[in-house]
Amino acid sequence: MTITEERLDQVELQDLNGLAKTDIDDVLDYVHVPTAKIPPYLELYDRYLRQRWNVNDLDFTQDRIDWTERMNDDSRNSFLSIASGFHHGERQVEAELAPLFFGIPEDYKVFLTSHLEDEARHTVFFDRFYRDVVGLEGDGIMDVLDGSWGYIQETFVGPFGLLAYLTDDLRRDPYNKHLQMKYATTYMIWIEGVLALSVMKITLNYARDFKVLPAYYTGFTATCRDEARHVQGGMRFVRQLLDEDPNYVTDIHDTLRTLLTMGAARSGYVYYEPLGWSEERVQALFMDQLHKKLAMVGVSLPADLENMLSMVKPTLAGG
Amino acid sequence: MSSFMSASWADEVKDRINSWPDAERRATKLDDFWDWIEMVKPFVVGRLALSVRDMPPDCEADTLCLDLESGSVVTATVCNRADTEAEAVFLMAGSYTDWMALVDGYDVGKMVMYRKLMLEKGDTLQFFTAAFYWTELLAAIQSVPTAASDGKLIKV
């Protein structure tokens, strides 16, 4: 289904109060535009200025009541298994962005400042949620992250460790366009474009359908709208690199080959059922999201990668 | 008890990696996870060097060299980084403080994710194709009882 102009405007223009009533599916549709319609970087920056929200405007009082009185142990555990991936993922994508600044187009640098600020705000959003709703304590951001680490599967380290190490590669050689492409494939296509946008839907649909966690729903829907800008900026950058040299597509494929190899591993089950989902449905979302991102940049998957994609275990969250 | 970065410690590390995981560790994860590691093992070939950037003076060595064949350790030695770097397919390095935290039980996933160990030589994509083999290798090293270079007990 293609999002209508009216619904797109609704997603585009809402403030936090409006986002509380916005359907997450509309926000997810809002991400995907054809290559020719991906907004220029400065237009994305302008959107940021209009869409920026204040994490301190959220009141988690009702969420705390829902968490302790209306959700059961199974729901809380499933929720934390998924949300903790974002708790850690947002920190990772905040901490790993800086080296990209050096070697990118000037307009993208301006937009990337907003991207970085968004990720810091998302990190604080999850910090507030884990403190005010889940009840974790700690002196700083890392204390609370350590508190939710137990919900993270070993396989989480695959894509996020790869991002950390590619960040270090890029720090050492920031103008290397092969490295930039590998980094953008890991960060903007896979982590933000596939993992995050797939798994966001699960906890948000749960909160919407069961009418719980209103501040979480509002803040995370706003987060999702922010991610739409990041993904569009990233896809524009990927497309620019491909326009410079179509051979960079090999870097996309090689990076996906590593990500999909890791994606076939899982160390434990995530029980989606208490939140109204199944593993098969999440896996289908992963496949759909990757195909949509690649369509945005005009890249197809060779047969071996299509086959690997069908074997990905959807146990990871994103950032 | 063997000292960290000593020849006897390297021998114990070799035995531990080659018998990894023990039943207790295996039970903490799905069989799928161990099957995945078996799947990638044939591609784990060559030398992995694990190095300490700021080893205290008067230590025997600053680098553990593991020669791997299909994911098994064929030889394990300690040496100085300069003597092995050229031969290593992958070289990971961290500070002495972070290495002590690892052998004391710090989470191996965080060691990677927070770059407490950094890949200072080798192709990053190729390395991560066997990502969980490497994190389990670190877990195996972590499980070996070790004394710090000054003789202080780190891990029993």
Q: What is the 3-state secondary structure (H, E, C) of B35-100?
A: HHHHHHHHHCCEEEEEEECCCCCCCCCCEEEEEEECCEEEEEEEECHHHHCCCCCEEEEECHHHHH
Q: Which residue has the higher pLDDT, A270 or A230?
A: A230
Number of domains in chain B: 1
For A175-186, how does the pLDDT look when each residue is reduced to its tens digit (9 = 90+)? 999 999 999 999
pLDDT band at A233 (very low <50, low <70, confident <90, very high): very high
Pairing mode of beta strands B118-121, B146-147 = unpaired
pLDDT band at A317 (very low <50, low <70, confident <90, very high): low
Residues of B in contact with A254 (CB under 8 A): 125
For B123-149, how does the pLDDT look when each residue is reduced to its tens digit (9 = 90+)? 999 999 999 999 999 999 999 999 886
Residues of B in contact with A164 (CB under 8 A): 112-115
* Most B CBs within 10 Å, among A180, A261, A312, to test the B interface: A261
Q: What CATH number did the domain enclosing B42 receive?
A: 3.30.1050.10
Specify if A314 maps to a domain.
Answer: no
Specify if B1 maps to a domain.
Answer: no
* Most B CBs within 10 Å, among A258, A259, A304, A312, to test the B interface: A258
Structural domain that includes position A78: 5-309
Specify if B49 maps to a domain.
Answer: yes
Specify if A318 maps to a domain.
Answer: no
B37 CA to chain A: closest CA distance, Å? 9
- Torsion sign (Cα): A47, A227, A252, A180: positive
Number of domains in chain A: 1
A32 CA to chain B: closest CA distance, Å? 28
| Complex ipTM more than 0.90, yes or no | yes
Structural domain that includes position B74: 7-143
Kindly list the residues of chain B whose beta carbon comes within 8 Å of any beta carbon in chain A: 29-30, 32-33, 36, 40, 107, 109-110, 112-115, 118-119, 124-129, 131-132, 135
What's chain B's average pLDDT? 94
For A236-263, how does the pLDDT look when each residue is reduced to its tens digit (9 = 90+)? 999 999 999 999 999 999 999 999 999 9
Alpha carbon distance, N-terminus to C-terminus of chain A? 26
- CB nearest A255 (choices: B109, B125, B132): B125
Q: Determine the pLDDT at residue A1.
A: 45
Query: How far apart (Å, rounded) are the C-alpha atoms in residues A168 and A170?
Result: 5
Q: What CATH number did the domain enclosing A114 receive?
A: 1.10.620.20
- Taking CA–CA distances from A162, the nearest residue in chain B reads B128
Answer yes or no: is pLDDT of B44 > 80.
yes
**Region of poorest pLDDT, from A161-175, A200-214, A303-317, B101-115:** A303-317
For A181-206, how does the pLDDT look when each residue is reduced to its tens digit (9 = 90+)? 999 999 999 999 999 988 888 889 89
